[in-house]
Amino acid sequence: MPTPRAAVESPCVAVFDLDGTLTWRDTLLPYLMGYVVRHPSHWLRLWRLIPAIIDYLTLHRDRGLLKSRVIRAVMGGDRRQQIDAWSDAFVASLERRRAFRPAALAMLEAHRTAGDRLVLLSASPDLYVPRIGRLLGFERTLCTELEWRNADSDADRLDGALRTPNRRGEEKSKCLAWLRTQYLGLPLLAYGNSDSDLPHLGQADHGVLVNGNAKARRHAAASGIPVADWTLTA
């Protein structure tokens, strides 16, 4: 079972990262590959990934731009109805495949029982993250948002450009600062699993690094951020 709920004033705002924190692993790659499997003609598009990856490694190191280009390569120009159908199926499959860490779900439920406000904060895209938020009972979801062409019409198609910054690293810190304006007077408790989560974990009233690798744990210790292990399966 997870470590006990942190000793902070109740109610608080409990902010959970998604990939590697609530789930065992990344969600974006399985989401995109599942879409290609569902639409086999899209295999022919994947050559576009090569220049995107080469540019990332040799030129800009911009994760947001890489994310946008990969999403565009896989499903750019496709209709919202088609993408939504896969997003619904993908999120439904997460429970069947036991993609969520039982210890993380137990901690989420502990916060819910305590009357805490629940926020999901992820760098993954709004193609499916808000659906996960609804599935798990979060009252608010913040994630990386994408552009659509002909938005609000029956013919809208995915553009794939980022409508918001890639919500990773310091961008999560900005999201936490915004959340303080939405939950005045409530302390913020944040959970994340990676080195890139340490800035916003340090900004929270109480941040916890969970399931972190050795490097992240070292950096967390140097910053005075406690660590926890949610790797147990039951």
Domain count, the chain: 1
Look at residue 5 and tell me if it is in a domain: no
Q: Please compute the mean of the pLDDT values over residues 74-92 and round it to a whole number.
A: 96
Residue 194 pLDDT exceeds 60: yes
Look at residue 1 and tell me if it is in a domain: no
Q: Rounded to 5 degrees, what angle do the CA atoms 11, 12, 18 make?
A: 135
Contact 163, 143 (CB under 8 A): no
Q: Please compute the mean of the pLDDT values over residues 177-194 and round it to a whole number.
A: 97
* Residue with the larger pLDDT of the pair 199 and 154: 199
Q: What is the CATH number of the domain that holds 118?
A: 3.40.50.1000
Write down the pLDDT at residue 139.
98
User: What's the whole-model pTM score?
Assistant: 0.93
Look at residue 210 and tell me if it is in a domain: yes
Give the helix/strand (H/E) hosting 222.
helix 214-223
Contact 146, 87 (CB under 8 A): no
Q: Output the six-digit token pair for 41.
A: 């003609």
- Tell me the residue range of the domain where 97 lies: 13-228
| Residue 185: DSSP 8-state | T
Q: Please compute the mean of the pLDDT values over residues 90-103 and round it to a whole number.
A: 94
Phi, psi (degrees; rounded to nearest 5) at 120: -100, 125
Residue 170 pLDDT exceeds 50: yes
* Residue with the larger pLDDT of the pair 232 and 190: 190
What is the SS3 assignment for 30? helix
Look at residue 7 and tell me if it is in a domain: no
Look at residue 8 and tell me if it is in a domain: no
